[in-house]
Chain A
Amino acid sequence: MAIIVNLDVMLAKRKMSLTELSEQVGVTMSNLSILKTGKAKAIRFSTLEAICEALDCQPGDILEHQSD
């Protein structure tokens, strides 16, 4: 997959657990796990905005493009 999700990196940087993020963003743990493991097919702007607000970061910090 060309788009890499660096959610675990950002969580480690902010010293935040997935449970805390789940509570702040309002997304279920299973859905955040899907996102973290890169199994997600798409992400809504509203979810991305909520994650960026909770982690105090930019979308580019969470998503990264890697050429194959």
Chain B
Amino acid sequence: MNFKKECSFRHIIYYASWLFLLLLGVNFLFSIANSFSSEDKISGFSSDDLLIEFWGNGIKKTSIIPSEEKAVVVSNIYSKVSVLADKTSFKAKNILLFALHLLKISVVILFFFLLTKILKTVVDKTIFESKNSTRLYFMGSLFLCIPLLKLIQAFILYQALLMVKFTEQVNFEPYTDIKIEVILGIVIILLGYVFKEGTRIYEEQKLTI
């Protein structure tokens, strides 16, 4: 094995992408494990005072001084609540939120898996192949799926938050920021088009005698 050749920049990026993919997988498993531990926490409280984790972005509003509200964006809402409505319906909504959260992670894992496939072609110096443009289209579409999942999650979170009353001095609202995902998704799809054209020119050049 040629060590110097194996340690080039593209090799490092390729191995880093696999490492990142591994970390995402661990995050996925950790989320599942954490959900089970949350169930234990719920059972430890009385039915009117539950410690709940809502899987979705939210804005935490704390009113320290009545006239002044301090707002902070949190990745998951985690607070003590008393459920006002039907508990089964509330639990179903919470499970749905968790499922959407896992789906979001799965989409990101799939995105990075496709990225490692592209990086493999970079390592092998066969980057201009038709499969890569298809991969880029798919990756862009996946990126555009994330805002959609986020919006659905925010909608369900909004409904779930209507069913509870926070027992602590805080208030939560759903929060969604989809600008980056939409822009990146469109850019990746455009890159796919450019790549398709590049592959066509490369093939033509290769078949010019």
Hey, which bits of chain A sit against chain B, CB under 8 A?
27, 31-32, 34-35, 39-44, 47
Contacts and interface: CB of A to CB of B under 8 A. Distances in A.
Contacts of A39: 207
B90 to A, nearest CB: 64
Overall SS of chain B's interface: mixed
Contact-size category for B: under 10
Nearest to A5: B209
Interface string B112-147: 000000000000000000000000000000000000
Contacts of A47: 209
Interface of B: 203-204, 207-209
Task: Give 10 nearest A-B pairs by CB, closest first.
Answer: A41-B207, A42-B208, A35-B209, A41-B204, A31-B209, A40-B209, A43-B209, A40-B207, A47-B209, A41-B208
A27 B208 CA distance: 12
Contacts of B209: 27, 31-32, 34-35, 40, 42-44, 47
A43 B207 CA distance: 8
Contacts of A43: 208-209
Contacts of A40: 207-209
Given A40-B208, A41-B208, 13 more contacts: A32-B209, A34-B207, A34-B209, A39-B207, A40-B207, A41-B204, A41-B207, A42-B207, A42-B208, A43-B208, A43-B209, A44-B209, A47-B209
A40 B91 CA distance: 64
Contacts of A42: 204, 207-209
B203 to A, nearest CB: 8
B98 to A, nearest CB: 53
Contacts of A35: 209
B205 to A, nearest CB: 8
